Every structure is written in C-alpha cells, then in structure tokens.
Amino acid sequence: MDFEKNVYVVSLFDLYGALLTSKQRQCLQDYLVNDLTLSEISQNLGITRQAVNCNIKESIRILQHFEDALHLASKLNSVANVLSDNRVDQSVAYKILDILKE
C-alpha cells in the first residue's frame, strides 16, 4: 500500500475502527500501525496468512463503506483546512479537531 493510501486508511481506522470486530481491529492495527507482516500477524492470531489478508482487505472495505455513508473524514479534513487557512492558533485548532473526533 502506498504512503498516501496508508495515511488515508489510518485516518478511517482512527474514526471508524471501533465499529470493526476485535479481530478486524487487531489485524488492521498490526498491519497499519505496528507495521507487522502478514506472517507475523497470522502467527500472533493463530490464523493463516490468507485469512489475515482477507481480513485486512474486508476491514478496509468496511471502513470505506462507513466513510462513503457518513463522510466524517472528508468533513474533518475540510475543517482542518479552514482552520489552517484562517491562521487559527495551532493549539486551538488541535483542540477543535479533537472535539470533532470524539
């Protein structure tokens, strides 16, 4: 996965990750955040590499489905752009973004 797509999927995971099953969350977190290989994840979870791969792809598809329906990531990005364009104090901008993520 290229860097930009990885950043995008991590942002979706940050917003919608709680809506995934625990196994989906674990696989995706290990793959995206902890940078583990499919083999390492499969060993940790006691499932096949193929199952890990399918789980990751399905989890990303689910996250994208949530974004397509709710548009939270795009709205959050728009708010961040407005805050940066208006030269709002950076600490205030972070507080606003944190509130929106809750």
SS3 of 9, please? helix
- Nearest by Cα to 73 from 16, 3, 6, 2: 16
The answer to whether 31 touches 51, Cβ cutoff 8 Å, is no
How confident is residue 41, by pLDDT bands cut at 50, 70 and 90?
Answer: very high
pLDDT at 75: 84
Q: What is the CATH number of domain 1-70?
A: 1.10.10.10
How large a percentage of the chain has pLDDT more than 70?
96
Neighbours of 98 (CB within 10 A): 9
Among 8-17, 57-66, 90-99, name the one with the lowest average pLDDT: 90-99
